[in-house]
Amino acid sequence: MKKEAKPQENNKMPLLIIGGVLVAAAIIGYLYYNSSRTPGGNANRAANASNVNSNRSPSATAPLGANPPNMIGSPTAAVTIEEFADFQCAACASVHPILKEIQSIYGSRIRFIFRNFPLGIPQHDKAYEAAVAVEAAGLQDRNKFWDMQNQLFVNQQAWTNSPNYRNLWEGYAQQIGLDVERFRNDMAGRATKERVDADLARGRGLGLDSTPTVLVNGKNIPFQAMTAANLRQVIDSEIQNSLKAPAANSSNEANTSRNAAAPANAQ
- Residue 135 · residue 116 · CB < 8 Å: yes
Under DSSP, is residue 226 helix (H, G, I), strand (E, B) or coil?
Answer: coil
CA distance 89 to 105: 25
Task: Calculate mean pLDDT across residues 6-25.
Answer: 48
Task: Calculate mean pLDDT across residues 18-31.
Answer: 45
Task: Calculate mean pLDDT across residues 64-90.
Answer: 97
pLDDT value at residue 2: 35
Could you give the count of Cα atoms lying within 13 Å of 73 in the half-sphere of its Cβ?
Answer: 26
60 pLDDT tier (thresholds 50, 70, 90): low
Task: Calculate mean pLDDT across residues 63-69.
Answer: 96
pLDDT value at residue 266: 41
Q: Which residue has the higher pLDDT, 50 or 200?
A: 200
Domains of the chain in start order, with CATH, are 71-241 (3.40.30.10)
Q: What is the DSSP string of 164-217?
A: THHHHHHHHHHHTT--HHHHHHHHHSHHHHHHHHHHHHHHHHTT--SS-EEEET
pLDDT at 71 over 70: yes
Under DSSP, is residue 260 helix (H, G, I), strand (E, B) or coil?
Answer: helix
Q: Is cis: bond before 39, omega within 30 of 0?
A: no
Task: Calculate mean pLDDT across residues 168-177.
Answer: 98
For the stretch 124-164, pLDDT in tens is 999 999 999 999 999 999 999 999 999 999 999 999 999 99
pLDDT value at residue 203: 97
258 pLDDT tier (thresholds 50, 70, 90): low
CA distance 182 to 120: 26
CA distance 203 to 113: 13
pLDDT at 90 over 90: yes
For the stretch 26-54, pLDDT in tens is 443 433 333 333 333 333 333 333 333 33
Mean pLDDT estimate for the chain = 80
pLDDT value at residue 81: 98
Under DSSP, is residue 79 helix (H, G, I), strand (E, B) or coil?
Answer: strand
Percentage of the residues of the chain whose pLDDT score is greater than 70: 69
